[in-house]
Amino acid sequence: MKKETTYLWWQTGVVYQIYPRSYQDSNQDGLGDLAGIIQRLDYLSGTLGVDAIWLSPFYPSPMADFGYDVADYENVDPMFGSLEDFDRLVAEAHRRNLRLIIDFVPNHTSDQHPWFLESRSSRDNPKRDWYFWRDAKPDGSLPNNWLSLFGGKAWEYDEKTRQYYLHIFLKEQPDLNWRNPEVKAAMLGALRFWMERGVDGFRLDVAHFIMKDPELRDNPPNPDIANAEFTAGEYPSQLHIHDIAHPDVHKVFREIRQLLDSYSQDQPRYSVGEIHLFDWKEWAKYYGEKLDELHMPFNFAFIRRTPWNPKAIRAVVEEIEKAVPPGAWPNYVMGNHDEPRLASRFGKEQVRVAAMLLLTLRGTPTLYQGDELGMENVEIPLDKQKDPFGLRVPGSGRDLCRTPMQWTGAENAGFSSAGVETWLPVSPKYKAENVAVELQDPSSVLNLYRRLLALRKTTPALNRGSYRTTGETTDECLSFIREAEGRTILITLNFTGKEVLPHTAMSGKGDILLSTRLDLTGTVSLNTLALRPHEGLILELEA
Ligand code: GLC
């Protein structure tokens, strides 16, 4: 008898990222919080229809990097609430069949974490080796040439003990030494802590940064700066071969996976790593040789990497299809709390095509809050900018995608009450772009997301079926087929502002399941099918 393949929630489901500071303010301090997120769970599971939420950090933190500088891995910052609120969030999410993924920040702590305070207190403190402390070179220069991704050098001098410590991000984010077994044990302990509280998975922040060259050798210069992922500031001037992604990282991920697996008997747990790699062979290694590392490395192909045109997109999707090892699962993401908004990158009209592409490819999609409204970047005046990256390296600011979620047309968009000063200004467009208004408008971007999510959920071909490109990929159109359980779905996307013939190489008839314009139904003949400007269609082919 043929064994039925079973699919897990993180394979067939859709993940939605919440940036807790900016989702819902329940106590009118201008900052979002866990109780606010609980208020919005019905929106997430019912109205929108996602399957899992990923929360950016809510841990106690001095907020030098808005929570990615953790001062206690096993608690909730009072500005977000308490552990009781967290437990309530887990219970309320699970009650609605929503899974909860939390951000885990393994590469660095806050400089205010008790571990670092101890470590910096003296050269012979037992936690000294939990971080990277080094003398200056004999000529007085820095221990090596490494740079901070957030600008400047990666070493900070500490007067008290007259040594430098390493920080690949801000000086308030000292790097942890994962080669020290006590560090590893403490960090795995934190993962246990949250799994015991019921979380379904983790997103590992800058996951492959945790293992560095054991000798901390200098990075060589980068001969191809123009092609670097991050192009601003000094960071791209080097090839980052010694400061990140030492192959020993794979062993750590195997241990993390074993730990997750040991908690997965009744509740399958999940891990996704923030791994900015674009050599797909190298990238795929993070699934593990025996699929025993991360459940997935995030696939950032659609962020910064792939030009928004059908040929480039087809090429990258086919590369991913080839690179993902047998038995492993692909994933796609277009936006997050570090990146400009989709609508600003692809254009107001193409944002619908982007939504249809993301939600019809094979693999788990991750959405970022507000993108379902078609939000654009919000320009923040310099005196109101908060992001330390943007303030240090002009052009790298991330405030533009972190503004408060827009729920209604009321002052402060229903995020905070009227009169409250929100931590970042609300987008000036909130009156036209908010959940309440878009729910009323049958052709809104929000309603497109809702339809796409519902269709994906109820159509095995879309949530688990095979992928193949079909027809001619022109400069205008991309078409592909998803198939499962005897059903064949054709997706065809127009990337231009003109009416085009998609050349799908399919004949016969197709039933329109969805147009990005939300205005079409009925049966069409595939030979004569035309797409309107910026239109995408999902069709079911007649058997
Ligand atoms: C990741 C996070 C980003 C953070 C950085 C340092 O890239 O996504 O927001 O600033 O790591 O933790």
Which residue is listed with tokens 């991920």? 253
**For residue 408, how many C-alpha atoms fall within 13 Å in the half-sphere facing its CB?**
10
Residue 176's beta-bridge partner residues? Answer: 131
Distance 253 CA to ligand 1 centre (A): 19
Q: Is 206 in the pocket of ligand 1 (CB under 6 A)?
A: yes
Which residue's CA is the nearest one to ligand 1's atom 6?
68
Please give the positions annotated as active site: 205, 274
Whether the CB of 202 sits within 6 Å of ligand 1: no
State in Å, rounded, how far the first CA of the chain is from the last one. Answer: 26
Q: Is 344 exposed, middle or buried (0-12, 13-18, 19+ CB in 10 A)?
A: middle
Cβ-Cβ contacts under 8 Å for 286 (sequence gap 6 or more): 207, 208, 250, 253, 273, 275, 277, 293, 294, 297
Structure tokens that stand for 356 in this block: 């249809």
Q: Where are the beta strands (DSSP E) in 250-400?
A: 270-273, 296-297, 331-333, 364-368
What are the contacts of 113-121 at 24+ separation with CB within 8 A? 113/70, 113/71, 113/72, 114/71, 114/72, 115/186, 116/174, 119/174, 120/158, 120/160, 120/161, 120/165, 121/160
DSSP single-letter state for residue 68: S
Q: Are strands 509-515 and 523-525 parallel, antiparallel or unpaired?
A: antiparallel
**How many CB atoms sit inside 10 A of residue 441's CB?**
12
Take atom 5 of ligand 1 and give the residue whose Cα is closest: 68
Q: Which atom of ligand 1 is nearest to the CA of 336?
A: 8
Residue 485 CA, ligand 1 centroid: distance in Å:
40
Q: Where are the beta strands (DSSP E) in 337-495?
A: 364-368, 466-469, 477-484, 487-494
Distance 53 CA to ligand 1 centre (A): 18
Nearest CA residue ID for atom 9, ligand 1? 338
- Asked if residue 476 has its Cβ within 6 Å of ligand 1, the reply is no
Residue nearest to atom 12 of ligand 1 (CA): 68
Helix (H, G, I), strand (E, B) or coil at 18: strand
Q: What percent of the chain has pLDDT over 90?
A: 96
Read off the pTM. Answer: 0.98
pLDDT of the residue at 285? 98
- Residues 6 or more apart whose Cβ sits within 8 Å of residue 35: 26, 27, 81, 85
204 close to ligand 1 (CB < 6 Angstrom):
no
| Closest alpha carbon to 334 in 295, 375, 379, 293 | 375
49: alpha, beta or left? (left if phi > 0; alpha if psi -120 to 50) = left
Task: Return the pLDDT at 3.
Answer: 59
Which amino acid is it at 367?
Answer: L
Q: Beta strand 477-484 with 466-469: parallel, antiparallel or unpaired?
A: antiparallel
- How many angstroms does the Cα of residue 40 sit away from the middle of ligand 1? 25
What separation in angstroms does the CA of 157 have from each of 215, 265, 458?
Answer: 19, 47, 57
| DSSP string for residues in 62-109 | --TTTTSS-S-TTS--TTT--HHHHHHHHHHHHHTT-EEEEEE--SB-
- Ligand 1, from 277, 338, 339, 366: best to mutate by most atoms within 8 Å of Cβ? 338
In short, whether 59's Cβ falls inside 6 Å of ligand 1 is no
Please list the ranges in the chain whose pLDDT falls under 50.
none
Crossing angle of helices 445-458 and 350-358, in 10° steps, is: 20
3-state percent breakdown (helix, strand, coil) of the chain, nearest 5? 30, 15, 50
Specify the pairing of strand 15-18 against strand 52-55.
parallel
Residue 215: both structure tokens together: 């000798």
- Whose structure tokens read 């993940």? 15
Protein residue with its CA nearest to atom 3 in ligand 1: 338
Residue 153's closest CA among 164, 139, 140? 164
Q: How far apart are CA 98 and CA 90, in angstroms?
A: 9
Distance 536 CA to ligand 1 centre (A): 33
In short, whether 401's Cβ falls inside 6 Å of ligand 1 is: no
Q: Determine contact, residues 175/164, Cβ cutoff 8 Å.
A: no
